[in-house]
Structure 1
């Protein structure tokens, strides 16, 4: 990704960066946000969905239990940019966020791309 994208990354209020997830204690309630890069619903997971979000600092693993999926189905299925509020879980060196609330914040992608498009437009205009 171009550097301009990282410097203008839209930060939802109170979202914790992936690189800072080691700081809060286990079971802390927090908010994370990022691009949805993976959704998995293994047949053996009894209705659990696993989502991987990516922000400018790394990736975050999200666990979505069936009841939460049913409540936030549209956001889970269609969001390209997602904000998740939940509880931090650590086990065997792996950190997950157990989702309690899921929001589709895909409209913020326009803000993410605007600086790059503006920069590209200025370069083209100057040639």
Structure 2
């Protein structure tokens, strides 16, 4: 299933995070749908597959990540000092848990929201546990 998702961006089975969600302490790690309802300035944690990394030359070294979980996407902004502290995880991690400050401008479905990263943890090793072993039919 992870191989499907990694190569195609989709799987006929459940989203990898739906299968791993039980391992995350529920009150601390919010999924994208719940995160969108959080007020501006709240300290939150989330976890998702990295679907995009962007570091435009015009952004003065700021890294923009997009995480995806079973309920949607989460835009993340990573300032330089956080990149210096968690560089390998940010550059190579496929499944990241990120804690930081939730920023929200506006209300309802038109609100502009993103997470300002403060702490990053690479949980990519968990994805290897999702591999389906070959069945022996002998």
Q: CA deviation at 1:56?
A: 0.7
Superposed CA RMSD: 2.0
Q: 1:74 aligns with which of 84, 88, 103?
A: 88
Unaligned 5+ runs, structure 1: none
Q: CA deviation at 1:23?
A: 2.3
Check conservation: 2:40, 2:105, Cα contact below 8 A.
no
Note the 1:25-104 alignment, pairs <5 A.
25-91=39-105, 93-104=111-122
Q: CA deviation at 1:22?
A: 2.5
TM-score, normalised to structure 1, is: 0.84
Unaligned 5+ runs, structure 2: 1-10
TM-score, normalised to structure 2, is: 0.78
Number of residues paired by the alignment?
A: 120
